[in-house]
Amino acid sequence: MSSPTDHPLSSGTEAPAPVLCERDGGVATVTFNRPDAMNALDTPTKTALLAILQELAADPGVRCVVLTGSGRAFCVGQDLREHITLLGARDESLWRTVPEHYNPIVELLATMNKPVIAALNGVAAGAGAAFAFAADLRIAADTAGVNLAFAAIALSCDSGSSWSLPRLVGVARAKELLLMPRTVDAQEALQLGLVTQVVPAAELAAAVAALAGRLAAGPTLAYGSIRNAVAFGSAAPLSDALAREAEYMAFTGATADHQAAVAAFLAKEKPTFTGR
């Protein structure tokens, strides 16, 4: 799938799309494609990412989404060159970008009805780190790192980091990482719970492909219901969490995948899931 935001250069050629999307069976891999800028998030990049995620979330043929970066970074967050220009011009779009771009991007990553993997090929900073936290699983190259860089430029945190980070590492450690930002290397990130797995950089693509393939072959709607039940239950009273679980159980109980799983169990066979 091509990106919706190709822009012509002055030479008459077309600039590379800032976000790429490739599909392989049920797996869609979304790649930040501004390697020279360490995949910083300028407006075209955020617009393209949001459009792609909206399309993938609505497509039942996509059963697992992988988010990764090109070059030596995953994503370093807001493009500060663009930010400075907009700040100097007092351009109101600078502050609209959180509700118009960052918030819906994070909501899609965290709630689409299919699993999401963040493949950290390099540093993930600011909003880039928060995007990774919104995923279900984070596989990091051993050369990757995480930096909650917001306070370093005298800004509050965004992109759901105030919600996701305490759930991953606890309130006290979340405050430490936000108030005193530093680059957390891959091994420490694993120890803290910021990432799920660390692999040698040369093995990242294969490890992500294996995991994504496994998830894409699984019961997609059950995965989506589980991720949303966990998100809801982490902040809800017990009675509300139980009620939501009942709703998701009724929903998944009516799926073709559940019927296939029960039939396969009785036949002592391995089920084949279709994501429906």
Domain residues of the chain, as ranges? Answer: 19-216, 220-266
**pLDDT band at 1, cuts 50/70/90?**
very low
pLDDT for position 61: 96
pLDDT for position 6: 40
Average pLDDT over residues 188-201: 98
Alpha-carbon distance values, 141 to 9, 116, 203, 208, 230 (Å): 34, 17, 8, 10, 27
Cα separation, 102 vs 83, in Å, equals 14
pLDDT for position 13: 61
pLDDT for position 174: 97
Residue type, 185: D
Tell me the CATH architecture of domain 19-216: Alpha-Beta Complex (3.90)
pLDDT for position 88: 86
pLDDT for position 10: 36
Least confident of 79-83, 214-218, 265-269: 79-83
pLDDT at 8 exceeding the cut of 50: no
pLDDT at 12 exceeding the cut of 70: no
Q: What is the pLDDT of residues 132-164, one digit of tens each?
A: 999 999 999 999 999 999 999 999 999 999 999
**pLDDT band at 14, cuts 50/70/90?**
confident
pLDDT at 11 exceeding the cut of 80: no
pLDDT at 190 exceeding the cut of 70: yes
The SS3 assignment for 36 reads: helix
Q: Is the pTM of this model over 0.85?
A: yes
Give the Cα-Cα-Cα angle 161, 194, 105 (nearest 5 degrees): 40
pLDDT for position 4: 40
Average pLDDT over residues 237-244: 97
Average pLDDT over residues 107-112: 96
pLDDT at 3 exceeding the cut of 50: no
pLDDT for position 18: 97
33 sits in which H/E element: none
Q: How many CB atoms lie within 10 A of CB 266?
A: 8
pLDDT for position 208: 98
Alpha-carbon distance values, 58 to 112, 257, 264 (Å): 8, 19, 29
196 vs 7, which has greater pLDDT? 196
